[in-house]
Structure 1
Amino acid sequence: MTTIRLHNTKTRRREEFVPIDPQNVRLYLCGPTVYDRAHLGNSRNVLVFDVLFRLLHHVYGPDHVTYVRNFTDVEDKINERAAETGRAIGDITAETIGWYHDDMDALGALRPTHEPRATNYIAKMVAMIADLVAKDHAYAADGHVLFAVESYADYGKLSGRSIDDMIAGARVEVAPYKRNPMDFVLWKPSGDGQPGWDSPWGYGRPGWHIECSAMAHELLGESFDIHGGGNDLMFPHHENEIAQSACAHPTGEFARYWIHNEMLQVEGKKMSKSLGNFFTVRDLLDSGIPGEVIRLVMLGTHYGKTMDWTETRRAEADATLRRWYGILHGHGFGRDLVAALKADGKWEPDAEFIGVLANDLNTPGALARLHVLAKGKTPAALAGFAHGMEMLGLVNDWAAIPMFDGGEAGPEVTQAVTARVDALLAERAEARAAKDWSRADAVRDVLNAAGVQVTDVGGQATWVPGPDFDAAKLGDM
């Protein structure tokens, strides 16, 4: 069986993934607060977890993986949007969930096993809060119920912060009813026009953090395998989830592995409306950028590193996919051919591709391996390439392999051109091995002049034709 290794934020090291129950591998991802369109950064952890979901399907079987991603449909931002627009809260959340599904579907993300809405689990939240109060881990004050962080000795362990440091760094006004400035809200009162439910502490609504703990417990149990989200959620959201869940269910582990993805930039700068570089997934899709291109750009950076969306990377991804889809179309890939390959026992993943991907979801390395596999000359030889395209979500339906419309047609890459570039790369490698740097530089200059974009990963050079690719500048072929 394939060994999966993941960087566990909880232990701060890369570990072999060993599920609690191989017959039911369980993972939870914090989903969106549904009041507006998902921006590009929101989609990153969806795509990271989508690749993980697919890898777990491959290793353990699709019937043995349970993936939960929630919708927060009760939250102050939603209330504010309702007040601004005069629309009903239910209408706003239903519309936004529809938008979210449309956008994530366009990026090739598989739907999770469960997509719970917080408002369907209020009774579970109330019961969990009452249990925490009974165990002296929470207290009622001024119509609120707050978790007492000092009652949980390991508070701050996930993010590596002490309570004293967190208090010193806090910039928020401390409510007078809090015993400790770091105590956080489990339940709060609802006023006129705000959504609310009856509870032992009066008419009110849950705090944000309790939602995920209650839904995860109901759908995955006291202990489950993987919890994920952006690293901006590590504190306080994930820290608070752990505290309340561990205190409510002291015999469980809550999540055994924690995966956090880094943030996203645009052209080297933090995405923000003030800089004019803020855009939603829908903005990109409506501008004519295919979802597969967005996905490929995202997967080109390891989830543990800051991802920089640039126009250059978009153009490179577009060129790469035009070439790869052209290969699939050119060799007749479709449902019938894939079915025939499966019948002949030739629909198998490439072992090196799987090994690279299983090493902490190394998507850049997996993409580099696809460049190598794309050189196959027959459908059988290309089976590993096609399987990898499916594994990364770049093909989801073999009856409809994408064909990009509009824009530039993309550079023509004939077999002669491919052979010429491969020969130049081999010559460059030979020159480097001989430490003939002038010869290596000369080859590099030819490749650069022709617009060939070369990536060196693990000693393996791969290439794609760039936006300014000109095969005539490659020399004799």
Structure 2
Amino acid sequence: MAIRVYNTLTRRQEEFVPREPGRVSIYVCGLTPYDHAHLGHLRPAVVWQTIRNYLEYKGFQVTLVQNFTDIDDKIIDRAHQTGMSAEQLARTFIQDYLNALDRMGLQFADRYPRVTRHISRVIAMVEELVRKGHAYVVDGNVYFDVTTFAPYGKLSGQRAEELEAGARVEVDERKRHAGDFALWKAAKPGEPSWDSPWGPGRPGWHIECSAMSLDYLGFGFDFHGGGSDLIFPHHENEIAQSEAYEGREGFVRYWLHNGLINVRAEKMSKSLGNFTTAREILSRYPGTLVKFYLLSTHYRSPLEFTPSSLDEVRPGWQRLNQAFERLSAFAPCLVGLGRQPAERWLEDALPAGWQGEDEAERRALAAVRTVRDAFEEAMDDDFNTARALGVVFELVRDVNPLLERTAPPGGCEAGAPSQLVLAAAYALMRSFAMGILGVIAAGADTAAGRQAGPAAAGREQLVDALVELILDLRKKARGERRYAEADEMRRALEQLGFVVEDTPSGVRWRLREAAGKPGA
């Protein structure tokens, strides 16, 4: 069955056909790093990691790019408030976000471009838009003229002639039209700036994503993702400036937008101050539980978050993890599985003609034989993870009666048919629930997740605080050129099981067991 996706541009489901056979290109709008990452930032990360996992499972080679808007009015304002430079502030909160992904067990994007590293590309695009008559210069600012792009509004339905200043459109009386938007902003005193043909300034919000996506993925790439709040004006303006720059349509093939996480019917956001930081959530709950919560609803649907949301879904997550842990005892029976589907291996491993001796065996065998088609049907339907999780729960339900009465094998060279069926069920859960959805905790994390409560959360918070304290002391030692002492602190942390990485964005750390992507 072909993958079908809901394309915001056409407002209907369409069959996914990649630009290049066997390859998929994805650009996802990232965060503006002026405060700690929150649950709303984790949702697109989880959604696109899961989509990537499924596409790779289907045999595609995937390239995923997610940007950081590391220069922006909010970053500049916050930097002034804190006494930090805009670059230092952005670097601090970029690291905070990447640390959250690490703790979630999420694979990083292939590229994390930052707009401040692509200024020359932005200037070149703006120059070309001015040359083609799509943009004009006023007092060192450059604006895109929406009236020169006839299809403006095709993504959002917002027509240029209907736009009013102030309705999610920046107010500036120097603009020719209320809907015109800034491609380049003239520098104000004390702001970071770059030289340009129009004087010192910095990029507008929208042009940066066009510049970076075209730079890394080229025109006509496959998927562009982001929250539904970005449809207008951000993504609408991306289309206008990109297609005007190229002189042709087809900037992006499929636009996918995830629903927002709301708190008391308002979008969870840093500007409203109604957010729960990712760091706080991950100090209290396992990353796989957070993924389970986010994937339990279709990605396009909004999520209403309350303080009890994760506790409410914990019992279901525990059932899956406990079933997987019990089924893992039958893993030694998977002799000769290799890369073939588990259900195909099972047909060869079972005695010829065996169809089950009773209802429990027949029901489990039928579930193993049909789960792959049901799972793929759910994921092929616009990446419906909620339905896919339901398929995994049905597998657990159907094999559980057999699991309850079957003793784990002492050896499987001549395994009983029931043990082979349970081994196949384990392999399928490992592929779908762990490898694609990523909701199964690995090894000892399973037991830890079951016990996570106030006491465990307190211990995790204490560990976080102590590690951060040691890293602050190490940073101070390095600043004072006490390098031997700083190295000893790092070695001590690594002996305790922490991975410490010095990166261009600053120091990152994680538990060694949390590294890497869940196995497929």
TM-score over 0.5 (shorter chain): yes
Superposition map of 1:368-383 within 5 A: 368-375=390-397, 376=399, 377=403, 378-383=422-427
Conserved 8 A contact 1:186-1:207: yes
Q: Within the alignment, does 1:44 sit opposite 2:46 as a pair?
A: no
Conserved 8 A contact 2:324-2:429: no
- State the partner residue of 2:7: 8
Q: Deviations over 1:332-388 (max 9, x none)?
A: 369x85985742735477221121112011111111111111243312223222211
Superposition map of 1:239-388 within 5 A: 239-251=236-248, 253-266=250-263, 270-271=267-268, 278-286=275-283, 288-311=284-307, 313-332=309-328, 342-343=337-338, 345-347=340-342, 350-375=372-397, 376=399, 377=403, 378-388=422-432
- State the partner residue of 1:175: 172
CA distance in 2, matches of 1:339, 1:191: 66
Q: Within the alignment, does 1:117 sit opposite 2:114 as a pair?
A: yes
Alpha-carbon deviation of 1:309?
Answer: 2.2
CA distance in 1, matches of 2:296, 2:201: 45
Q: What percent identity do the matched residue pairs reach?
A: 42
Q: 1:74 to 1:16 in 2, by over 3 A?
A: same
- State the partner residue of 1:236: 233
Alpha-carbon deviation of 1:290?
Answer: 1.7
Q: 1:52 to 1:144 in 2, by over 3 A?
A: same
Range with bigger deviation, 10-19 or 306-315: 306-315
Q: Secondary structure at the match of 2:137?
A: strand
Range with bigger deviation, 210-219 or 343-352: 343-352
Alpha-carbon deviation of 1:60?
Answer: 2.9
CA distance in 1, matches of 2:71, 2:325: 46
Q: Within the alignment, does 1:394 sit opposite 2:389 as a pair?
A: no
Aligned residue pairs total 404
Alpha-carbon deviation of 1:19?
Answer: 0.7
- Structure 2 counterpart of 1:160, from 157, 161, 169: 157
Q: Deviations over 1:146-185 (max 9, x none)?
A: 1010010011110012122222773767323211111100
- State the partner residue of 1:95: 92
Alpha-carbon deviation of 1:99?
Answer: 0.6
Letter in 2 for 1:324: L
- State the partner residue of 2:453: 407
CA distance in 1, matches of 2:85, 2:20: 43
Q: Which TM-score applies when normalising by structure 2?
A: 0.72
Range with bigger deviation, 271-280 or 254-263: 271-280
Q: Secondary structure at the match of 2:448?
A: coil
Conserved 8 A contact 2:261-2:305: yes
Q: Secondary structure at the match of 2:84?
A: coil
Q: Secondary structure at the match of 1:167?
A: coil
CA distance in 2, matches of 1:333, 1:85: 54
Q: Which runs of 5+ in 2 are unaligned?
A: 344-370, 404-421, 456-520
Q: Which TM-score applies when normalising by structure 1?
A: 0.78
Conserved 8 A contact 1:338-1:347: no
CA distance in 2, matches of 1:238, 1:276: 24
Letter in 1 for 2:22: Q
